[in-house]
Amino acid sequence: MKELLQELRKSALEAMAGADSLEALESLRVKYLGKKGELTAILKQMGRLPADERPVIGQLANEIREQLDEAFESRCKSISQMLLEKRLKAETLDVTIPGTYVPIGKKHPLTTVLDEAIEIFVGMGFCIAEGPEVEFSDYNFTKLNTPEGHPARDRQDTFYFTDDGSVCLRTQTSPVQVRVMETSPPPIRIISPGRVYRKDEVDATHSPMFHQIEGLVVDKGITMGDLKGTLDTLVQRLYGEGTRTRFRPHHFPFTEPSCEVDVQCFECGGAGCRVCKGEGWIELLGAGMVHPKVLEGCGIDSTVYSGFAFGIGLERMAMRRFNIRDMRLLFENDVRFLSQF
């Protein structure tokens, strides 16, 4: 039996030394040292030995077990280190090689200008209000002093959802002003940015879908001077000191008095060109003092409170801000154009 143990030690040590993977090494451990391994099988025969030989064989068997355990642990560490070195060599990075360019997205120019405008208005104490794009005509027209039969409600100008004209795509974000006045007592100071829809022909300065920023201030003692000061502050902050504006008398059903506000054409400097249609000015927004009928219709006493409102075309603000000649470029998703911003 002593010879069998010596032969087992020799073959086991040689096999473990030649193992080239952790899986193969584990298989050898089970083969030689497992409960059903070769060493256990030999020890089961000790009952046949004379009593005086059993202690000697038992001591030898324990020495072999310890030696094989140490050999297993040593080879396990060696293989693990070898595998780690192999992995590190395979995954070595050359930090001097230029990295792969990953394009980073940017804000759309409309979003950039909208964020700038919101920052300006919030700095003046305005809050942001939002409303539905699919709107009741009652809010889109009637409550804004635009009764049935008014040209603005014609089907050639407005997208309607119902045959009776009671539901439409909002033509302005002014309905948000009505909703706020109905639910919030003065003082009110809000802007309502969002998409609006009209049946406009597509050209350099028009689109059937565009964006507006409507503003509303209602409080005691509000005058036209407050409106002009607010809009001048906006324009000067957006386009820089010295930006020329023009206030023209106009008519809107929901404001009285009303005005149009223009900025000097960025393309021709006022001389007249295709962008401004030869006028030298580009219409930026409409504004005015909130009509007393609108205030009264929302439950606000017009003898105590007054207010002003305005609506700005975000696309035209962006065109003036970035010297863009054609509004259609903002919606065509041409990366060559958008990457400039």
CA distance 57 to 43: 9
CA distance 223 to 115: 27
98: in domain: no
Shared domain check, 115 and 26 = no
Shared domain check, 118 and 82 = no
102: in domain: no
Question: Quick one: which H or E segment has residue 117?
Answer: helix 109-123
CA distance 40 to 52: 20
> Over the stretch 309-341, which tens digit does the pLDDT of each residue have?
999 989 988 887 888 888 899 988 888 888 888
| Residue 68: domain span | 2-90
- Domain-ending residue, one of 62, 90, 118: 90
> Over the stretch 158-177, which tens digit does the pLDDT of each residue have?
999 998 889 999 999 999 99
Please tell me whether the overall predicted TM-score, pTM, comes out greater than 0.85 for this model. Answer: no
With a pLDDT cut of 90, the percent of the chain lying above it is 39
Shared domain check, 192 and 224 = yes
100: in domain: no
Shared domain check, 126 and 26 = no
CA distance 14 to 279: 98
Q: The CATH number of the domain where 128 resides is what?
A: 3.30.930.10
Shared domain check, 242 and 139 = yes
Total tally of structural domains belonging to the chain: 2
Q: How many residues does the chain have?
A: 341
124: in domain: yes
Strands (E), the chain: 127-128, 134-136, 167-169, 188-197, 209-219, 245-252, 255-264, 281-290, 306-313
Shared domain check, 278 and 242 = yes
Average pLDDT, the chain: 86
Mean pLDDT calculated for residue range 122-134 = 94
- DSSP codes, 198-230: --PPPBTTB-SEEEEEEEEEEETT--HHHHHHH
Task: Give me the pLDDT at residue 205, please.
Answer: 77
Question: Quick one: which H or E segment has residue 6?
Answer: helix 2-18
Query: If we measure between CA atoms, which residue out of 290, 276, 99 comes closest to residue 205?
Result: 276
Shared domain check, 300 and 175 = yes
More confident residue, 108 or 13: 108
Shared domain check, 188 and 331 = yes
Shared domain check, 172 and 127 = yes
- Domain-ending residue, one of 55, 90, 125: 90
Shared domain check, 325 and 192 = yes
97: in domain: no
Shared domain check, 155 and 86 = no
CA distance 212 to 321: 15
Does residue 51 register a pLDDT over 80? Answer: no
Task: Give me the pLDDT at residue 49, please.
Answer: 67
Cis ω for the linkage preceding 257 (within 30 of 0): yes
Does residue 190 register a pLDDT over 90? Answer: yes
Task: Give me the pLDDT at residue 46, please.
Answer: 67
Shared domain check, 267 and 177 = yes
CA distance 249 to 260: 6
More confident residue, 307 or 150: 307
47: in domain: yes
- What do you get for the CA distance between the two ends of the chain, in Å? 87
With a pLDDT cut of 70, the percent of the chain lying above it is 96
Task: Give me the pLDDT at residue 47, please.
Answer: 63
Query: If we measure between CA atoms, which residue out of 35, 37, 36 comes closest to residue 15?
Result: 37
101: in domain: no
CA distance 168 to 232: 33
103: in domain: no
The answer to whether the beta carbons of residues 341 and 322 sit under 8 Å apart is yes
Cα→Cα distances 39→13, 17, 68, 105, Å: 13, 18, 10, 67
> Over the stretch 211-269, which tens digit does the pLDDT of each residue have?
999 999 999 999 999 999 999 888 888 877 877 888 999 999 899 999 999 888 767 77
- Domain-ending residue, one of 90, 121, 156: 90
Please report how many Cα atoms fall inside a 13 Å half-sphere around the Cα of residue 309, on the Cβ side. Answer: 29
